[in-house]
Amino acid sequence: MAVALSSPTSVDDVLNDGFLSCLRRDEGLSRFCGENIHIGFVRNDAGYSVTLSGNKRSVEVTGTIIGTLSATRDCLEWLEPYPQFEFLDTASPDSALQAAQTIFGPGNLYLVPHDDGSADIVIVSFEQQPHLLLDLKETLIRGIARLPKELSLERALLGFAALENLPVSVSDATIAFDRNIVVDLQQRRIVSPLDIHQVVADSFYLSVEHQLFFDGVHGNARVSFDATTSTATVTTNQGSFQSHGIIVAYISHGRWSFAYGSNPKLQRLYQFAHEFAIPELLESTTVDNAQTLGLDHAAKRILRHWTHVFINVSPDTNALLLLDAPQLRLPAPSPHAQQAVWAVALPASVDAERARTAYSELRGI
């Protein structure tokens, strides 16, 4: 059905309405061009030709001038008709510029400076570049996870549907989009048969056993990694062997970030996270939260690499590297090993019965 969205009564309402559309464009553009985007502007009769480049790729888009910003950055003049909402008259220039992305969009806003210090306010909609937009499901997975708790999820979803011209079905408990994507308003997530806690439960104990085996047999191992061949060399006092390796995440300054942008080997993990709408397997987080959730355990079962090490990749960045080699395969199950594995504490959010059942099935005991 068509979306009937109530008129905004504050700048926060406008930002709420445009939150998901802005994220869709920002994330899509970052995926195409990378984090460090070079922006070039050439004036023309339509406004500006805007070139966005990075990651050895570039795209040329049309930018429409919607207003000007004074050199003192305290006065806005709109060239396009601006909605007559009273709250916009008292909004700060920064807030008004943020709101303009939704009011004149959805689109990305850029300031093109003049020699006198003033700037043209330019909006790019990407209507002719749909490949620059994040897909619908991933926009919702990431956007719902990032939406500040003080903003209304229902309004954000309805605003998104209205701005993107998407049909939705609305009930008291859910909002359903096309492609069978249903958002549970109370749980604040896309309805899915799996969540991160269940994935960790299904992985945890077998992951633990592999790690105990690695530490016991190959303790104090030194590991080097060749990213071009995905080959790790594991060196111990008894010799060395080679293992297939996958970098899953980078750890820097207390942050955990999945290595999707730099490692095509993670496609299986990305597809799993996308299919089951699991934001924790897509979004960056703190290292503490990654440990609390058990993200390393979840990745191991999906990627079928059960042993991990940490390697240094730059002065301030380590990487979680998963390994798989014949030398890392477990021996036959034993009561002693089972006792040692089950003595390791589960993450608090993981169901113990599910975890033990999954381990027993995987080990055939």
pLDDT digits (tens, 9 = 90+) for 92-126: 889 999 999 999 989 999 999 999 999 999 999 89
Question: Higher confidence at residue 254 or residue 91?
Answer: 254
CA distances for 259 relative to 246, 262, 268, 298, angstroms:
10, 6, 13, 15
Contact yes or no for 64/123 (Cβ under 8 A): yes
Q: How far apart are CA 163 and CA 141, in angstroms?
A: 18
Crossing angle of helices 153-164 and 136-146, in 10° steps, is 150
SS3 303: helix
Crossing angle of helices 196-217 and 295-303, in 10° steps, is 80
pLDDT at 345 over 80: yes
pLDDT at 341 over 80: yes
Q: How far apart are CA 178 and CA 139, in angstroms?
A: 14
pLDDT at 150 over 60: yes
Query: By C-alpha distance, which of 187, 145, 197 is closest to 348?
Result: 197
| DSSP code for 146 | H
Contact yes or no for 46/66 (Cβ under 8 A): no
**In sequence order, what are the residues at sequence separation of 6 or more whose Cβ sits closer than 8 angstroms to the Cβ of residue 334?**
none
Q: 54 in the Ramachandran plot: left (φ > 0), alpha (ψ -120 to 50) or beta?
A: left
Q: Buried b / exposed e across 91-100, counting CB within 10 Å, b at 16+?
A: beeebbbbbb
Query: By C-alpha distance, which of 333, 362, 357 is closest to 346?
Result: 357
Q: Are strands 222-226 and 231-236 parallel, antiparallel or unpaired?
A: antiparallel
For 348, the token pair is 């608090």
Ranked by mean pLDDT, the top range of 21-25, 27-31, 258-262 is 21-25
For 63, the token pair is 């930018």
pLDDT at 279 over 90: yes
Contact yes or no for 276/194 (Cβ under 8 A): yes
Structure-token match 């590297």, residue found: 321
Prediction pTM value = 0.92
For 166, the token pair is 């998407």
Q: How far apart are CA 153 and CA 157, in angstroms?
A: 6
Q: So what's the pLDDT on residue 137?
A: 96
| DSSP code for 76 | E
What number of CA atoms fall less than 13 Å from residue 75's CA on the CB side? 6
Residue type at 25 in one-letter notation? R
pLDDT at 179 over 90: no
* Cβ neighbours of 321 (radius 10 Å): 23
For 53, the token pair is 């480049």
Q: Where are the domains of the chain?
A: 11-132, 143-190, 196-363
**In sequence order, what are the residues at sequence separation of 6 or more whose Cβ sits closer than 8 angstroms to the Cβ of residue 311?**
223, 224, 225, 318, 319, 321
Per-residue pLDDT band for 2 (boundaries 50, 70, 90) equals low
Q: How far apart are CA 78 and CA 104, in angstroms?
A: 11
Q: So what's the pLDDT on residue 165?
A: 92
- The pair phi, psi for residue 193, each rounded to 5°, is -75, -10
Query: By C-alpha distance, which of 74, 123, 120, 75 is closest to 98?
Result: 123
pLDDT at 163 over 70: yes
